[in-house]
Amino acid sequence: MECERIDVRALENGGVDFNDEPMECCSSSSLKASHPPAKYSDPATIVPPKSLSELITRLHDIFASDDISVEYVQKLMASYKGNPREWKKFAKFDKFRYTRNLVDEGNGKFNLMILCWNEAQGSSIHSHANSHCFLKVLDGSVKEEMFCWPQKTDHTDVTANDDNSNGHDDSSKDQGMQKWAENQLLKDECGYINDDIGLHRVENPSHIDKAVTLHLYSPPFDECECFDERTGKHTTSKVTFWSKYGKRTPFMCRLSVLIVTAAVLIVPSLSIDLGTQWKEFKATYNKNYKNLEEELYRHAIWKAALDHIALHNAAYQRGEVTYYLGENEFADMRNEEFVKIMTKYQMPNETEGSGSLTSADIGGSPLPDSVDWRKYGYVTPVRKQGPCAAGYAFATVGAIEGLMYRRFKKGRSLSPQNIIDCSGNHGCLGGSVTQSYKYVISNRGIDTDEGYPYEAEYLRSCRFDRSQVGGYIKGFETIKRYDEFGLQEAVAKMGPVAVAIDASHIDFQLYKGGVYSNALCNKVVVNHAALVTGYGNCPTGAYWMVKNR
């Protein structure tokens, strides 16, 4: 199947550029660039609206016409400089999902709304019901991923006419969604999409900061298609408003009461939903149990984990804790099992290393208020550790990767398997960062991850290959225990630093997002190595940014 080539590019001024050097996107039918119709007026003469109410008034004037310019609306949206004092009354957050908050109904011609995204919240991959979608970031930032229409859907899909860009070929096989572009939209930047361009998914990429976006949809719609990225299959979903004109929608409030008062009546359907959720959990994390007895045992642990997650997240919603939990691959493991398998760090003597640093030893210029080495290429992508207690190896290579980037300005993933097999630690039964550093020094290097790939097991034979060396160090130093200011200085002035933490609690096992702060953490006995990649401040206080497998 041939792919028609189109280009959609978010401009600094918020426009969309269809040019002569397009990016490639595949669709099951012909995609045509959605060129703007005749202009409502000259975009070059746009005077920025002074307020949100003025923006709304001007949008009403524009959409009163039958001849509307997409380009003009884009530029008008881009010219608006959002004032939080105006839009905050419409910005309603939900701790468990992003929200759609209606600002103006646009006389039936458009909907103007504010979408609120808590940390790490995002949408599904979705269509726009043949509507134009204009987006502007008011606060924070969002990531937009662009997808092609799937090449095949199930028979419940509507087969489009030849000139409909949403068409599907029912003769092909189900296949995953094809992502063809990704944009990071910062504050005051804009984007645009319609169904001719494709599908998209929007999310707040930050685990610290919230995001707020202003959206205009024309014409309005109350349902759209949501797509499974793995199969390309879709379901039709109703879209509702969390609030209208700054007030919680009555439908949602009544629904909450209904769930409470009719709890006895809906128990059977809840059981069915739980069974489906259990099947999805097993499929997602490739869980296979040796017999029915073990599956029932794991199911009970998993159900208890879901109950714990629900109770904790209710406390998070009330603002009583600063982090939230979620289902993951460890949800069917007892906490004792998790600790035994995943936390085997061996605490070294504090004075090991070339020296023991304090904050006074580092000295120098004042520290920045925040540091995030991910932004500068010092931090490689997170890798899955699997059933191997090798956090010490990942923390070791993470720190060396940062030093290599600092020196050569080139990112390269190094081999934790090299450390596991060759460093004199205990393989997948644990080890220490200092012992690993000593190995790299005496060995005069460590292989790349490509040259010595990770296998999540201790093979008992060292296969180090000097031709595959990707990094080295000549020495290392330790920071005095409990000296957090010394750690802050080291991170700010040297790069990512390997640390040891207490990871033995159920909340760490099921952690999903937010600032993890557990009063039960042991300050003396630590059992897991990780990598501090930055620090900063948020409304709940100071935090460390930690990379963990």
Compute the distance between CA of residue 140 and CA of residue 86 in angstroms, rounded to an integer.
17
Helix segments in 343-384, DSSP class H:
359-362
Q: What angle do CA 512, 93, 107 make, to 5 degrees?
A: 140
Dihedral angle over CA of 537, 542, 547, 549, nearest 10: -130
Helix (H) or strand (E) holding 72: helix 70-79
For residue 23, the cross-strand partners are 6
168 labeled binding residue: no
Compute the distance between CA of residue 399 and CA of residue 473 in angstroms, rounded to an integer.
10
Beta carbons within 10 angstroms of residue 463's beta carbon: 14
Compute the distance between CA of residue 125 and CA of residue 146 in angstroms, rounded to an integer.
9
Token pair in block for residue 15: 């426009």
Q: Which residue has the tokens 């319609």?
A: 194
200 labeled binding residue: yes
Token pair in block for residue 427: 């393989």
**CA 356, chain centre distance (Å):** 37
For residue 536, the cross-strand partners are 543
128 labeled binding residue: yes
Compute the distance between CA of residue 90 and CA of residue 199 in angstroms, rounded to an integer.
27
Q: Are 453 and 415 in contact (CB under 8 A)?
A: yes
Compute the distance between CA of residue 363 and CA of residue 499 in angstroms, rounded to an integer.
20
Compute the distance between CA of residue 234 and CA of residue 232 in angstroms, rounded to an integer.
6
For residue 125, the cross-strand partners are 227
Compute the distance between CA of residue 513 and CA of residue 228 in angstroms, rounded to an integer.
23
Cα distances from 180 to residues 5, 9, 93, 217, in angstroms, run: 11, 12, 30, 23
Bind-site residues for Fe cation: 126, 128, 200
Bind-site residues: 126, 128, 200
